Amino acid sequence: MDLPRAQEWQDLSSLAESGLGQQLFGVILSFVVICVLWRVNVRIISKMTGLDGPMLVANLVATGLVILVPFTTDAISDPETSGLALPTVLYAVNIAGVSLAQSTVYQLGRRAGLERHPTSSRQNLAALSDALVTPAVFLCSIPVALTIGASAAQLFWLVLVVLLPVSGRMSTRLA
- pLDDT (tens digit per residue) in 57-93: 999 999 999 999 999 999 998 888 989 999 999 999 9
Task: Classify 48 as helix, strand or coil.
Answer: strand
What's the CA gap between 157 and 150, in Å, rounded? Answer: 11
Q: When comparing pLDDT for 135 and 1, which is higher?
A: 135
Judged against a pLDDT cut of 70, whether residue 10 lies above it is answered with: yes
Q: Which of 140, 113, 110 is nearest to 128 (CA)?
A: 110
Judged against a pLDDT cut of 90, whether residue 95 lies above it is answered with: yes
Q: Which run of H or E residues covers position 97? A: helix 85-111
Q: What percent of the chain has pLDDT over 90?
A: 76
Whether this prediction's pTM lies above 0.85 is answered by yes
Judged against a pLDDT cut of 80, whether residue 99 lies above it is answered with: yes
Q: Letter for the amino acid at 144?
A: V
Report yes or no: 21 and 86 within 8 Å, Cβ to Cβ: no
Of the chain, the end-to-end C-alpha distance in Å amounts to 44
DSSP state of 4: P
Q: Which of 54, 52, 142 is nearest to 96 (CA)?
A: 142
pLDDT band at 1 (very low <50, low <70, confident <90, very high): low
C-alpha distances (whole Å) from 122 to each of 125, 126, 172, 175 are 5, 6, 11, 6
Q: What is the pLDDT of residue 70?
A: 93
